[in-house]
Amino acid sequence: MPKIVLTDITKRWGDFYAVDHLDLVIDDCSFVTLLGPSGCGKTTTLRMIAGLETPTSGRIEIGDTVVFDSEKGINVPANKRHVGFLFQNYALWPNMTVYQNISFGLKNLKKYTKQEIDEIVQRVARVVKIEMFLDRYPSELSGGQQQRVAIARTLAPEPEVIFMDEPLSNLDAKLRLEMRSELQRLHLTTGRTFVYVTHDQMEAMTLATKICLIENGVLQQYDPPLKVYGKPNNLFVADFVGSPSINFIDAVGTQNEGSMDFTVLDDKKATFSFAEPIDIANWREAEKKADAERAAAKAELAKNKKHVEKGNKDTVFKYHVAMVDDSAKQDAEPTENDYVIGVRPEMIEICDDGGIEAEIYSAMPTGMETTVRLRIGNFLLTGVVFGGVTYEIGSKVNVRFKGNGLMLFSRISGRIIGTGALKV
């Protein structure tokens, strides 16, 4: 089974960079999800690997074969790359029944007998639960059923690498969950490499062995789901994954004997202790050095006559601090004493005394858990409490921050500095 290696892949149209210098190694047998907001370059990346789009520059290897190299002028056509592809805009053949749609690709392969083809069709149809529709035509199916036929058609020829571009987008929530679990089983039992595009972070979290999170054509993080969740590289990643969303708290302060002394939530004194010791001065030095190196590399690139300046500029992510009334909020230019603390909803503990005084702003029980919004002065924090707890709106509670996994970010660059505990 092949490993896929992308080296310095760029795709631009004019000065619009859809994919910006992407390096990516997709391991053999892995399940990689390409995740990111609409228009960030997921489909384009997938199409380039599959050979349906020509990169502007870079190199792509699938297994031992170089399938694309802009410098050497190599470009292996799509049908020779041995990949199965399920498009975002899949099209079933309208004049063929479901059975014929699924078996069509198998007949062309010529290596199967009629009976083998029948077995495969029955098996994949069972996996996606359409075995009762095999004699129908696509126009006689709902959108979700058509989508499942498209999945079956992709799986039938047993390609070594399977690319799927939002294959579950037309399904209802329950079926989606079921299909997700089937896809996970399928990945396990077939041992194929899956590359899966989605903008649904839940889908990416639950299915992937590794998530590749892209924004504006730039790779933000490429890690296993729980690392992306627990130690996001920057504010954008922290905000993009997790539901309910992470809470951001502005913090101003300096380091004092290892831990950070902060003022948070208007006027409250707080201490942030790192899970692993970090010296802020050193961290800043290293960050400045890395930035200078990046700027130098960019300047070097710009000397090339063929270089085109990126029109869709990269900016530091504008994080959102939830407030009851944010009309008076002003965005001052951040200094080195400005930080942002990221608190996942499950890190908020509601208790009877100690910590910070808060008021229940809203409480939404789902049965299994309750999402609670807590008001602290003008600020709102979202917490999740397990179990069916009822809270009276307006009642007074106390709030503490649980555990060692709160995240500290630099406000200037938006990058993570480290994780730790916050005591207020």
Ligand X SMILES: Nc1ncnc2c1ncn2[C@@H]1O[C@H](COP(=O)(O)OP(=O)(O)OP(=O)(O)O)[C@@H](O)[C@H]1O
Among 33, 43, 201, 221, binds ligand X (CB under 6 A): 43
Going by C-alpha positions, the residue among 208, 120, 101 that lies closest to residue 158 is: 120
Cα distance between residue 376 and residue 399, in whole Å: 9
User: Segment contacting ligand X (CB under 6 A): 34-42, 140-148, 249-257, 344-352?
Assistant: 34-42
Instruction: Identify which of residues 167 and 345 has a Cβ nearer to Mg ion in the complex.
Output: 167
Element (DSSP H or E) covering residue 213: strand 210-215
Cα distance between residue 276 and residue 421, in whole Å: 11
Going by C-alpha positions, the residue among 179, 219, 164 that lies closest to residue 31 is: 164
Among 43, 97, 103, 201, binds Mg ion (CB under 5 A): 43
Cα distance between residue 338 and residue 410, in whole Å: 7
Binding to ligand X (CB under 6 A): which residues in 68-127? 88
Record the tokens describing residue 83, joined without a space.
């990949």
Element (DSSP H or E) covering residue 62: strand 57-62
Among 2, 41, 58, 253, binds ligand X (CB under 6 A): 41
Distances (CA, A) of 359 to 145, 247, 343, 401: 47, 16, 18, 16
Record the tokens describing residue 234, joined without a space.
């920057």
Q: Which does 38 bind (CB under 5 to 8 A by kind): ligand X, Mg ion, none?
A: ligand X
Least Å from the CB of residue 260 to ligand X: 37
Amino acid identity of residue 320, one-letter, is: H
Instruction: Identify which of residues 41 and 167 has a Cβ nearer to ligand X in the complex.
Output: 41
User: Segment contacting ligand X (CB under 6 A): 38-46, 248-256, 324-332, 378-386?
Assistant: 38-46
Cα distance between residue 202 and residue 205, in whole Å: 5
User: Segment contacting Mg ion (CB under 5 A): 88-96, 273-281, 322-330, 335-343?
Assistant: 88-96
Site string for ligand X, 181-210 (x = CB under 6 A): ------------------x-----------
Instruction: Identify which of residues 42 and 153 has a Cβ nearer to ligand X in the complex.
Output: 42
Least Å from the CB of residue 41 to ligand X: 4
Element (DSSP H or E) covering residue 105: helix 98-109
Least Å from the CB of residue 90 to ligand X: 13
Q: Would you count residue 167 as binding ligand X (CB under 6 A)? A: no
Q: Under the rule (CB under 5 A), what is the footprint of Mg ion?
A: 43, 88
Q: Under the rule (CB under 6 A), what is the footprint of ligand X?
A: 13, 16, 18, 36, 38-44, 88, 199
